[in-house]
Amino acid sequence: SEIDPHAKASYEENFNFKVSGDRTKVDAKSIPDHDLLCAGFPCQTFSIIGKSQGFEDTRGTLFFDIARILKEKTPKAFILENVKSLVTH
């Protein structure tokens, strides 16, 4: 899933598959089953270097879309970015 058109084109060219767009609009059921989910969200919203707005910043709510996909697909493992202040939000 990628919203940046240039990054999306790069992924599609390099990995030879169609990249979905905005993950907030992707139906989790439509995602193929997988064993590992690697996902990210803008860390600035949680970081002590950023404004630390957490879930008050709409970028931070992407965390809940990852959780929604994890709940639906139940992969064996997942990897998220380690952001120091994430657990305090």
Average pLDDT by stretches of 10, the chain with 89 residues: 89 89 86 91 69 68 88 95 69
Residues 6+ apart with CB under 8 A from 16: none
pTM: 0.73
43 is catalytic: yes
In CATH, which superfamily holds the domain spanning 5-88?
A: Vaccinia Virus protein VP39 (3.40.50.150)
For residue 64, give both structure tokens. Answer: 């809940």
Query: What pLDDT was estimated at residue 28?
Result: 92
Which among 43, 62, 69, 83 is annotated as catalytic? Answer: 43
The percent helix, strand, coil of the chain (3-state, each to 5) is 45, 10, 45
Q: Where are the domains of the chain?
A: 5-88
Residues in the chain: 89
